[in-house]
Amino acid sequence: MITLDNNTMPTQPTLYIGSDHAGFALKEAIKQYLDRKKVQYEDLGNHQYVRSDDYPDSAYAVAAKVAKANARGIVVCHNGVGVCIAANKVNGVRAVNAPSVAIAKESRTDNDTNVLCLGGEYISSSLAKRIIAAWLETPFSRAERHHRRVNKIKKIESKR
């Protein structure tokens, strides 16, 4: 669990972030927020607004790093759906498109999500900050049923 206060967040494993052109502006706002909270992150791109990019590229870049490093990531596209679909193709990734704080929290407690997907055209930067804070602060549940269900997902992945 990561504890947030008004000024800083403790050091954690690297948070990987990325976006396509439609999520670029929100990703840049997220970076400013993470800087203020002193959250270590690596921006995997895009590093400038490039309209000819494709969301699967940024989603895969983040998801692959998350899976390899056992870390967490945030990806942003137009509505959060495309990056979520693409990220979930990577074994070890449990991505969620979370348009609300409640969904972000529940995705952590119940599903141990490790990639947060956001819609740059649908979520304001102030809402994104609240969603991110909730998602980073919320630990995975200790309830046996949630562990059992996540383990079933891992078993499905092992068959691919």
Measured in degrees and rounded to the nearest 5, phi and psi for residue 116 equal -100, 125
Active site residues: 77
Q: Dihedral (C-alpha) 3, 4, 8, 13: value to the nearest 10 degrees?
A: 50
Q: What is the pTM of this model?
A: 0.92
Q: Say if residues 42 and 98 touch (Cβ distance below 8 Å).
A: no
Could you say which residues of the chain have pLDDT below 70? 1-13
Does some domain include residue 4? no
- Domain that residue 125 falls in: 15-158
Residue 4 has what pLDDT? 52
Does some domain include residue 42? yes
CB atoms within 10 A of CB 144: 8
Please tell me the total count of domains within the chain.
Answer: 1
Does some domain include residue 20? yes
Does some domain include residue 3? no
